[in-house]
């Protein structure tokens, strides 16, 4: 079983690298770069890049979730969710839930259309809002990654 846990952990981290790495690329490179374009071209530029990445992120979020649940189950960690010293588990689960909701529910059902409508009326404000939301998600992701690795390797807060 130890081998499977090691493999699950490696796949979990690889999926997180792709997903959070992509989020950071959008936050720190794509969105600031779009700010240099004329306002009315920003929404189309964002849609082209983000929607292509969203398709890939659905795969990595699914892999991170499946491997995470497998580790929770095999390491018997569900009850540790209530332990404040194990806050990393709650942080991982909460962050995953936000992204899974955005990617699998909100984006296909209504966010896509909402974004297009808002961007047509207020392209500058929509760009600013997207940047702010991506920065917040990036910050939460960084705290979670640092908390997860430091916590697993003995750092206790
Ligand atoms: C459904 C969501 C998730 C579940 C159930 C989950 C669960 C787990 C579990 C059980 C471990 C092993 C922890 C331990 O040995 O104490 C782990 C490791 C890890 N998780 Fe998650 N996780 C989830 C999502 C995430 C997210 C969203 C991130 C990052 C943003 C993340 C980053 C990591 C990292 C980096 C490790 C490896 C730590 C190490 O071994 O050095 N996980 N996860």
Reply yes or no on whether the pLDDT at 105 is more than 90. yes
* Cα–Cα dist 8/64, whole Å: 9
Distance 92 CA to ligand 1 centre (A): 6
Q: How many domains does the chain have?
A: 1
The pLDDT of residue 135: 98
Whole domain around residue 46: which residue ranges? 2-152
The pLDDT of residue 1: 79
Q: Which atom of ligand 1 is nearest to the CA of 75?
A: 10
Q: Looking at the domain assignment, is residue 100 inside a domain?
A: yes
pLDDT single digits (tens) 76-87: 999 999 999 999
Q: Is the CB of 93 under 6 A from ligand 1?
A: yes
Distance 140 CA to ligand 1 centre (A): 14
Q: Which residues contact 39 (CB under 8 A, 6 or more apart)?
A: 123, 124, 127
Reply yes or no on whether the pLDDT at 134 is more than 90. yes
CB 9 within 8 A of CB 92: no
Tell me, yes or no, if the pTM score tops 0.85. Answer: yes
The pLDDT of residue 29: 97
Residue with the smallest CA separation from ligand 1 atom 14 is: 152
Q: Looking at the domain assignment, is residue 157 inside a domain?
A: no
* Cα–Cα dist 135/141, whole Å: 10
The pLDDT of residue 51: 86
**Token reading at 154:** 């003995």
């Amino acid at each position: 079983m130890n081998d499977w846990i090691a493999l699950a952990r490696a796949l979990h981290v690889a999926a997180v690298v792709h997903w959070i790495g992509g989020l950071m690329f959008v936050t720190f490179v794509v969105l600031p770069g779009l700010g240099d374009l004329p306002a009315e071209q920003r929404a189309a530029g964002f849609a082209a890049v983000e929607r292509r990445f969203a398709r890939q992120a659905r795969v990595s979020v699914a892999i991170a979730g499946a491997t995470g649940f497998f580790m929770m189950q095999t390491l018997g960690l569900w009850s540790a969710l209530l332990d404040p010293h194990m806050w990393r588990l709650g942080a991982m689960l909460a962050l995953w839930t936000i992204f899974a909701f955005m990617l699998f529910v909100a984006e296909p059902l209504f966010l896509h259309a909402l974004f297009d409508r808002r961007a047509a009326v207020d392209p500058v404000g929509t760009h600013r809002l997207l940047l702010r939301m991506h920065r917040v998600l990036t910050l939460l992701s960084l705290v979670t990654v640092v908390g997860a690795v430091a916590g697993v390797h003995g750092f206790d807060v």
